[in-house]
């Protein structure tokens, strides 16, 4: 595996200088944040970003994310233009030598939590999802501020989107994702870019909007839409592991052996109900995911691709983007590296 770290660009208080000092850190996961969703990413902008990262002794390992325009997910006629743009972006990323692109197909909202700064017993704060709190939220009142939701829509835009999604049930969303995948994958293949769809987080419908990248059966259905290692997955332990039905290490091993795991997100979650959880430190004993089993699964298919410690808590007084401070994620990277070294050596001796 190749240890990587998410960096939010020049505005990020977690600088490349700091990231580089984390033991064993090899690569950066980032994006170009000032291009509107649906527009083409110009080659020179990608190259500038890459050069900046390489100047700091790191590699640009993954683009997370190239967002998919809602018109593609809804299946509007205007999707054609956005799909063409998406293809050009993939082509440009390939030309710049970017090996992996992460994206998702969640309607309207990306990852969603009910609170950003839930105080844990030890005084640290974490992101949590409580089903009963989310159920009482109405995205259309305008009072909703969602943690993972950077693109703020105007209320009227949101209303229009929700109206469109009335026609989009799970099967329609499958149809639309199938259409998109069949269009973009030949370009990804020709450009040498491995696509890695991120599972829905959390992996069930929210606010009445359908979600389909949620469990083993659906991931299988997804990879079968287009038979190619370029049509792969981001295996995110915290997203898929947020429901008790998903056995994350088993899924990871299964899709890894099929050569469809192009990126791994390692995060722990402590389940507090069938549809509620707290994000917890990476360490197995503090969450519901056995991180050693995750590492073992990756060894079982000799994973050489990128992995990043996903969200951390806020600890030691750090402030900043919830989930994306330096300290707890750095501890996560170190812990994962430790497990990996131990498992490697155990198998050799």
- The residues assigned a catalytic role are 198, 236, 265, 310-311, 324
Distance of alpha carbon 160 from alpha carbon 345, whole angstroms: 56
Q: Compare residues 79 and 267 and give the one whose CB is closer to ligand DNO.
A: 267
- Cβ(236)–Cβ(201) under 8 Å? yes
Q: Which of 207, 198, 137, 202 is nearest to 165 (CA)?
A: 207
Binding residue (CB under 6 A) for ligand DNO from 30, 61, 65, 278: 65
Length of the chain, in residues:
349
Q: Is 111 exposed, middle or buried (0-12, 13-18, 19+ CB in 10 A)?
A: buried
Q: Compare residues 101 and 187 and give the one whose CB is closer to ligand DNO.
A: 101
* Total binding residues toward ligand DNO, as defined by CB under 6 A: 13
- Cβ(69)–Cβ(173) under 8 Å? no
Binding residue (CB under 6 A) for ligand DNO from 7, 111, 129, 303: 111
Binding residue (CB under 6 A) for ligand DNO from 95, 110, 247, 343: 110
| Piece of 14-22, 103-111, 182-190, 334-342 that binds ligand DNO (CB under 6 A) | 103-111
User: Is 104 near ligand DNO (CB under 6 A)?
Assistant: yes
User: Is 148 near ligand DNO (CB under 6 A)?
Assistant: yes
Q: Is 262 exposed, middle or buried (0-12, 13-18, 19+ CB in 10 A)?
A: buried
* Sheet strand arrangement including 125-129: 115-119, 125-129, 276-280, 268-273
One symbol per residue from 289 to 308: x for binding ligand DNO (CB under 6 A), - otherwise; what is it?
--------------------
User: Is 64 near ligand DNO (CB under 6 A)?
Assistant: yes
Using CB under 6 A, which residues numbered 174 to 203 contact ligand DNO?
198
């Amino acid at each position: 595996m190749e240890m990587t770290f998410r960096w939010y660009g020049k505005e990020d208080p977690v600088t490349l200088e700091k990231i580089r000092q984390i033991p064993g850190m090899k690569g950066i996961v980032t994006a170009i944040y000032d291009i509107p969703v649906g527009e083409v990413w110009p080659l020179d902008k990608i190259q500038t970003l890459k050069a900046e990262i390489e100047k700091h002794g790191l590699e640009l390992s993954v683009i997370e994310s190239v967002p998919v325009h809602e018109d593609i997910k809804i299946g509007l006629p205007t999707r054609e233009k956005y799909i063409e743009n998406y293809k050009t972006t993939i082509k440009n990323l390939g030309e710049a030598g970017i090996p992996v692109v992460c994206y998702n197909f969640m309607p309207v909202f990306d990852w969603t939590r009910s609170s950003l700064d839930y105080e844990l017993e030890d005084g640290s704060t974490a992101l949590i999802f409580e089903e009963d709190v989310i159920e009482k939220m109405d995205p259309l009142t305008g009072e909703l501020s969602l943690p993972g939701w950077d693109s703020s829509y105007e209320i009227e835009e949101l209303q229009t989107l929700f109206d469109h999604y009335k026609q989009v049930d799970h099967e329609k969303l499958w149809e639309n994702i199938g259409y998109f995948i069949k269009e973009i994958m030949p370009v990804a293949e020709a450009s040498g870019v491995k696509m890695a769809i991120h599972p829905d987080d959390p992996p069930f419908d929210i606010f009445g909007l359908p979600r389909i990248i949620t469990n083993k059966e659906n991931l299988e259905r997804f990879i079968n839409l287009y038979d190619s290692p370029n049509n792969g997955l981001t295996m995110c332990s915290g997203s898929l592991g947020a429901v008790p039905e998903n056995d994350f290490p088993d899924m990871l091993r299964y899709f890894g052996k099929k050569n469809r795991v192009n990126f791994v997100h390692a995060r722990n979650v402590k389940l507090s109900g069938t549809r509620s959880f707290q994000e917890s430190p990476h360490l197995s004993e503090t969450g519901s995911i056995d991180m050693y089993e995750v590492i073992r699964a990756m060894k079982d298919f000799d994973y050489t691709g990128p992995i990043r410690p996903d969200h951390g808590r806020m600890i030691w007084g750090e402030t900043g983007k919830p989930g994306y401070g330096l300290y707890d994620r750095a501890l996560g990277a170190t812990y994962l590296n430790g497990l990996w070294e131990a498992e490697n050596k155990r198998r050799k001796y």
